[in-house]
């Protein structure tokens, strides 16, 4: 009976927490920020930066909107399927937790207070949660917040750091980029063994990597909390970044060297705000690795809008 129900709900798709996909052309989903009666498309300028609590970083250039979006005004972040579809899949209510102001705009840190999901109906959503996702420390509300946050593809980048005899290389998807003003933002978990050294030296390197190195990228994930092997013991060769001399996997397509300008504690993660001081392109860009929640992937697959699995 359980197998039958599962087949009805998911077809032959293997159930997982997140789907690892590639984006061949453009991201089809859209994200809109609504404050009072003003609605702005923030699709390329919104990122997940902290998980406990769930905090979004949203870059806003509009001075009037920045003025309205203060601690007395709750914002609404709306995720939609695609420009051609306009179906809402998640609506989140956000409060301002902090902000970083610059001449070109303001990075708002917005904490999720409430959300609604529309990927599947009430019965299917609860069944999947209770059957496959429910575990200690993960309430239904927390589950909903993660589904909402990952109803937009989150790109995976490779982070590099080196100081004296210590180095680290690990993947991250809590990363945002503001290309128009050479800024990047990162959400690093406090348990990351390299975080304190990054804050002390104020340096970090972020690389773009092709999805075909998925297996190697995920193995690097263990470096968040454990000591990496000696550089010569890595299963790949490294090059040194031009300015900082940090170890960068030879298979990355490009990298950016970033000077950290400011840090903010968001909860389980520290937010690092930095300036890109050097960018090096090594090879033509291809398809990167992205994460979406499985609930969102399942919804998109039913509509024929899913991305290819990596």
- Does the structure show a pLDDT above 60 at 6? no
Encode pLDDT of 198-234 as tens digits. 999 999 999 999 999 999 999 998 877 778 889 999 9
Q: What are the structural domains of the chain?
A: 28-152 (2.30.110.10), 157-287 (2.30.110.10)
Encode pLDDT of 120-175 as tens digits. 888 888 888 888 888 888 899 999 999 999 999 999 999 999 998 899 999 999 99
C-alpha distance across the termini of the chain, in Å: 31
Encode pLDDT of 22-60 as tens digits. 987 789 999 999 998 889 999 999 999 999 999 999 999
Half-sphere exposure of 163 (CA within 13 A, CB side): 14
111 or 132, greater pLDDT? 111
Mean residue pLDDT across the chain: 91
Q: Which run of H or of E encompasses 163?
A: strand 157-163
Relative to beta strand 18-22, strand 54-60 is unpaired
- Does the structure show a pLDDT above 90 at 254? yes
Residue 68 burial class via C-beta count within 10 angstroms: exposed 0-12, middle 13-18, buried 19 and up:
middle
C-beta neighbour count of 226 within 10 angstroms: 9
- Does the structure show a pLDDT above 80 at 253? yes
For residue 8, name the pLDDT band (cuts at 50, 70, 90).
very low
- Does the structure show a pLDDT above 60 at 310? yes
Collapse the DSSP code of 294 into the 3-class scheme (helix H, G, I; strand E, B; otherwise coil) and give the result.
helix
Q: Which run of H or of E encompasses 8?
A: helix 2-10
């Amino acid at each position: 009976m359980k197998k039958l129900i599962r087949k009805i709900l998911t077809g032959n798709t293997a159930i997982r927490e997140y789907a690892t996909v590639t984006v061949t052309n453009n991201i089809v989903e859209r994200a809109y920020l609504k404050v009072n009666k003003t609605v702005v498309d923030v699709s390329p300028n919104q990122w997940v930066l902290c998980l406990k609590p769930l905090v979004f970083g949203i870059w806003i250039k509009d001075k009037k909107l920045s003025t309205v979006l203060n601690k007395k005004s709750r914002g609404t972040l709306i995720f939609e399927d695609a420009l051609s579809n306009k179906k809402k899949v998640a609506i989140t209510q956000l409060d301002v937790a902090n902000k970083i102001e610059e001449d070109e705009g303001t990075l708002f840190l917005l904490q999720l207070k409430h959300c609604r999901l529309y990927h599947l109906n009430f019965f299917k959503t609860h069944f999947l949660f209770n059957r496959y996702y429910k575990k200690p420390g993960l309430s239904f509300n927390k589950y909903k917040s993660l589904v909402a946050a990952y109803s937009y593809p989150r790109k995976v980048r490779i982070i590099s750091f080196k100081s004296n005899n210590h180095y680290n290389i690990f993947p991250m998807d809590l990363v945002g980029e503001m290309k128009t003003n050479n800024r990047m933002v990162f959400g690093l978990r406090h348990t990351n063994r390299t975080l304190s050294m990054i804050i002390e030296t104020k340096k970090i390197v972020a690389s773009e990597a092709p999805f075909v190195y998925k297996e190697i990228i995920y193995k690097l994930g263990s470096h968040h909390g454990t000591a990496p092997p000696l550089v010569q013991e890595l299963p790949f060769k490294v090059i040194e970044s031009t300015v900082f001399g940090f170890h960068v996997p030879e298979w990355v397509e490009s990298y950016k060297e970033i000077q950290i300008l400011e840090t903010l504690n968001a909860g389980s993660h520290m937010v690092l705000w930095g300036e890109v001081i050097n960018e090096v392109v090594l090879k033509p860009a291809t398809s990167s690795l992205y994460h979406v929640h499985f609930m969102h992937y399942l919804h998109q697959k039913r509509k024929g809008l899913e991305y290819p699995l990596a």
